[in-house]
A and B are shown apart, each in its own frame.
Chain A
Amino acid sequence: MEPFTTHTGRVAPLDRVDVDTDQIIPKQYLKTIHRTGLKEGLFADWRRLPDGSPDPDFFMNQPRYANATILLTRDNFGCGSSREHAPWALLDYGIRVILAPSFAEIFYNNCFQNSILPIVLEARDIQRLFDHVCADDRFELTIDLAAQTITTPQKSAFRFSIDPFRKQCLLQGLDAIGLTLQREQAIADYEARRKQDTPWLFPDLCA
């Protein structure tokens, strides 16, 4: 996985609560067997009007946000389906950081697996950032993961919290499966013990 250390980028606003993964990427784009090329499906139903033309009010169609890499949004972002296609589509479009007062759990977890940093901030700080984005066409933020800070162009900084293990994984771009496989002996010992204690948990479905 690509490490995440610091990032500076343009901020795009998505001022809606409860954005679900069916909106982030509708089902017709889930038939792929690949992880790449999914930006075509990103917000596919919201970026277009019913007649198929681009919705000029949606951030993806506004030139000022054309190269945005940071998404600013509201509560419970990413709720619904567990589809990892949602972070894949955001990443494919170029999004590396998402700022919200809260995230749905599975989506939040899926972001870390793809080197996207989801940051939880107090609702009032999110509101301040929305105010900045509306006021300034070229509003950018700098995120420093090691320092756990977000810095505005005016040099005011927000601190954010993050789980220390997830932080290390992102900073170093660690392969989570590789980490677990380092404990292969512990897993084997566990299985041997459980086979004794609860043998019915070890039927072989292939048999």
Chain B
Amino acid sequence: MAAQTLFDKIWAPHVVHEGSDGTTLLYIDRHLVHEVTSPQAFEGLKLAGRRPRRPGATLAVPDHNVPTTDRSLGIADPLSRLQIQTLEQHCADFGITMFSMHDVRQGIVHVIGPEQGLTLPGMTIVCGDSHTSTHGAFGALAFGIGTSEVEHVLATQCLIQKRPQTMEIQVDGHVSPHCSAKDLILAIIGTIGTAGGTGYVVEYTGEAVRSLSMEGRMTLCNMSIEGGARAGMIASDETTFSYIKDRPMAPPAHLWTQAVQHWKKLRTDPGAAYDRVVTLPGEDIAPQVTWGTNPGMVTGVDGVVPDPRSFSDVETREATARALAYMALTPGTPIVDIPIDRVFIGSCTNSRIEDLRLAASYFKGRTVASGVQAMIVPGSGLVKKQAEEEGLDTIFRAAGAEWRESGCSMCLAMNADVLQPGERCASTSNRNFEGRQGKGGRTHLVSPAMAAAAAVTGHFVDIRHWA
């Protein structure tokens, strides 16, 4: 048999039917559901008189609209409340398991899947959410879908797909100890552009990737979509297996050895060809900060705000000028001279225990700068619990940062956590689009370490040279 990529080895065994034109009916192993993109799908099922084919393959959780403050008070916004009640009702009607916002297992859908052992190597995983790419960190094929396709998966456990192309992104060598997976992925997006991955499934390889923890690998795969790729993946290895083992929904003991033996075969064969290969030297990557209104508008913390006139093509020049006007930034300003008002540490990109530990190490013994508001939102109730057991909440509170309940929160500001017009935020989330964190709000994407350092000093800092 010809040498195969990891993608080939997952795609082929999930093909239920392939037409002569390549249109493929692909089987979906796991389906995750949240309250924002599912109501119309459930309603569609009901209108058509259809039932979910495998309710036991689906897990639902409210995450976008949930308050991160005292939940015993309920949800103040009637629309948010109705959307969550609607999810509860649909799940009850169709026999789908849901973690309610009062369940300690509740959290951001892309945090709780792996946490519960629902995300496994070799799986196909979908969710009505573009950051489903996160689950590719386990050597799974995981991608975001729209609401019509949510309904399709509920009804059939399948999707109609065309085989995508494959891209290898290889990061060689070691990154600086002050750089994290977040800096890696921002540097990758800065290199390939926000549409560089369109049409591809990305496999991340190389020493710098292989040495990441599972949390780091999730951060990396999470933002594949910001580079245009629907899915990003990393071959599973011992790091993966030890993360999964003994989690509540991981394979039970009598199937564990068989599963691991199977997973060990799910890696790209020597000599297998990708449609495109991109290579980056890990050593060259500095801590990253976005300056514009998409994640490709990014530079090292030692850089400056670019001059629109420095770009040769007219579209980039205009987009840059527009972004700088929105961000209220002047060309040539050193990144470290940009003052900030707010700090958000959270989101499906950076809200796991390792992210919080890293942030806490920068907050420890320091205080949030005067005039800055810092908010820390753990990715799940279980992450919150673990952080509290480790005393991280005490460090955050002592520094003057707010310690919140889990949810998507100010990554997209669908709940009450919102930037005010003109406020500038150092955020560990994934999108710096205009208005993403609140109308008129200005977002700079950074790692948890960079966000914590910015909270303490009131501006961006090159943490490589910071005591």
Cα distance A181–B16 in the bound complex, in angstroms: 12
A151 to B434, CA, bound (A): 35
Q: Does the CB pair A194–B27 fall under 8 Å?
A: yes
B37 touches A33 (CB 8 A): no
Q: Which residues of B lie under 8 Å from residue A32 when comparing CB positions?
A: 39, 79, 83
Residue of B nearest to A87 (CB): B146
Chain A: CB-nearest residue to B313: A17
Q: For chain B, which range describes its interface: under 10, 10 to 19, 20 to 34, or 35 or more residues?
A: 35 or more
Q: Are B249 and A190 in contact (CB under 8 A)?
A: no
Assembly CA distance A120 to B214 (angstroms):
38
User: Which chain B residues lie closer than 8 Å to A109 at the CB level?
Assistant: 145-146, 149
Q: Which residue of B lies closest to A165 (CB)?
A: B23
Which of A26, A75, A82 is within 8 Å of B435, CB to CB?
A26
Beyond A75-B315, A80-B130, is A104–B29 a contact (Cβ under 8 Å)? no
A163 touches B162 (CB 8 A): yes
Q: Evaluate contact between A180 and B25: CB separation under 8 angstroms.
A: yes
Given A82-B130, A179-B160, A205-B249, A45-B95 contact (CB < 8 Å): no
The count of chain A contact residues (Cβ–Cβ below 8 Å) is: 60
Q: How far is the CA of A87 from the CA of B92 in the complex (A)?
A: 29
CB–CB B40/A35 < 8 A: yes
Q: Contacting A82 at CB < 8 Å: which of B27, B56, B128, B319?
A: B128
Q: How far is the CA of A31 from the CA of B86 in the complex (A)?
A: 11
Q: Are A205 and B59 in contact (CB under 8 A)?
A: yes
CA A165 – CA B19 in complex, angstroms?
Answer: 10
Using an 8 Å CB-CB cutoff, how does the interface string of A145-182 with B read, 1 for contact, 0 for none?
Answer: 00000000000000000011100000000001101110
B155 CB contacts on chain A under 8 angstroms: 177, 180-181
A136 is an interface residue with CB less than 8 A from chain B: no
Q: Is A63 an interface residue (CB 8 A)?
A: no
Contacts of B162 in A (CB 8 A): 163
B338 at the interface (CB under 8 A from A): no
Give CA–CA (A204, B414) in the complex, Å: 32
B288 in the interface (beta carbon within 8 A):
no
A124 at the interface (CB under 8 A from B): no
Contact present for B319 and A16 (CB under 8 Å):
yes
Known: A33-B43, A176-B152. A204 touches B56 (CB 8 A): yes
Q: Are B199 and A105 in contact (CB under 8 A)?
A: yes
Give A residues with C-beta under 8 Å from B: 16-18, 20, 22-23, 26-28, 30-35, 45, 50, 74-76, 79-84, 87, 102, 104-106, 109-110, 113-114, 163-165, 176-177, 179-181, 183-184, 186-187, 190-191, 194, 198-207
Q: List 6 A-B contacts (CB under 8 A).
A: A82-B130, A180-B152, A183-B25, A187-B25, A199-B255, A200-B251
